[in-house]
Amino acid sequence: MGQLGVGVMIRQLGGNADSVEAFTAAVGKKITALALVDNELLFTFDDGSKVKLFDDGQSCCESRYMRTDDNLDYFVGGELMNAEVRDAPDEEDEYGECHEVQFLVVTTSKGAFTMANHNEHNGYYGGFWVVAAKVE
């Protein structure tokens, strides 16, 4: 991964206690809906609670987005068990600029699926800050 951008560095300084709390509270719950909406992975659980996982590291001039090739509907009905991030090799886009990818692997009782977080930038920004947040 390239150098960290200001957005990621500032968020790292603030810590991730809220994110850990939001995700930990969701572990073990049965998933009733799961969707990728506006670059956020949105979980709805059988108790009515919701949590989203997303890359919150945005700095000035970056293009960040999340994608998956997996069928998220398959995992509805399973219990959320774990999530981890895994770095992937950086790529260079057609204009010679940096294209970073970081995988978010989510494990459920029905198996695991992979989300790919992308960050395209000119090399002065970079990094990822994948967090969890409760949805009200």
Q: Each residue of 91-114: pLDDT tens digit? A: 777 777 778 888 999 999 999 999
Quick one: which of 60, 40, 42 has its CA closest to 51? 42
Q: Where are the domains of the chain?
A: 6-134
Rounded-to-integer distance, Cα 59 and Cα 73, Å: 32
Characterize the bridge pairing of strands 98-108 and 80-87.
Answer: antiparallel
- Please, what is the end-to-end C-alpha distance for the chain in angstroms? 33
Whole-structure pTM value:
0.83
Rounded-to-integer distance, Cα 63 and Cα 58, Å: 8
Rounded-to-integer distance, Cα 130 and Cα 84, Å: 10
74-94: pLDDT as tens digits: 999 999 999 998 988 877 777
The answer to whether residue 123 scores a pLDDT higher than 70 is no
Give burial (CB, 10 Å; 0-12/13-18/19+) of 66. buried
